[in-house]
Amino acid sequence: MVGTVSEVATPTVRSLDVSVRLSIGTLGLGVELRTDRRAVAIVGPSGAGKSTLLRVLAGVERRATGKVEMSGRTWLDTKRGVFLEPWDRRVGWVPQNDLLFPHMSVRENMAFAGASASDVEETAELLAVRPLLERRPRNLSGGERQRVALGRALLARPELLLLDEPFSALDRPLRLDLVQRVHALAERAGIMLVLVSHDDGDTAAMAEERWLLVEGQLNRL
């Protein structure tokens, strides 16, 4: 179970190998990223393509060319005609617009990937949204929606968790607490994290490695 703080998982070696190119209007990406760190942050100015890169990794941006491998498993290889669909990648993706299902309760949203009732309850407690389980997304604040989307992604048991400014709507004390909780939880479950954030506090608390994306080029800091 990914949501329990008492879980002790066997350490899992994860690696991410990305070499992709993409041109959309004025945005051009020529990205090379190879890492076996458990938590990576991608920083850079607005409009540099950080969110677009996460979309490529999630498999929802199909126009990219090149290659993406996760722990030796090929997700994208345009030369060989390989494209693994998002639902086959074992990716948890938390975009800036949380994409919660408006007709479902918080409980139903978090259980969408097949999580058990007890796992939903425990993860909701971890993310401080347990009192909100019967509400619909329209009755949540921005910060609450972010935490529900994060819980849903974690409960999908991903190999790779993509976080796009996931704590931006939270006040500082809660933000730091959740950053630390999510990092510890992901480490226990053997989940690799890729975090996009403009907040130095988030990246310092969560990331083991930082990459700078500027003018379509990605370089390790």
Sketch out the chain's domains with CATH numbers: 37-220 (3.40.50.300)
Contact 192, 13 (CB under 8 A): no
Contact 14, 192 (CB under 8 A): yes
Is 19 within 8 Å of 57 (Cβ atoms)? no
Can you tell me the mean pLDDT for 208-220? 94
Give the model's confidence band at 193: pLDDT under 50 very low, under 70 low, under 90 confident, else very high.
very high
Mean pLDDT for the chain overall: 90
How large is the average pLDDT for residues 45-49? 92
How far apart CA 17 and CA 20 sit, in angstroms, is 10
Tokens coding 112: 């969408």
pLDDT tens string 6-37: 344 445 678 999 999 999 988 999 999 999 99
Cβ pair 185, 178 in contact under 8 A: no
Verdict on whether the full-model pTM lies above 0.85:
yes
Task: Using a pLDDT cut of 90, give the percent of the chain over it.
Answer: 68
Q: What is the pLDDT of residue 30?
A: 94
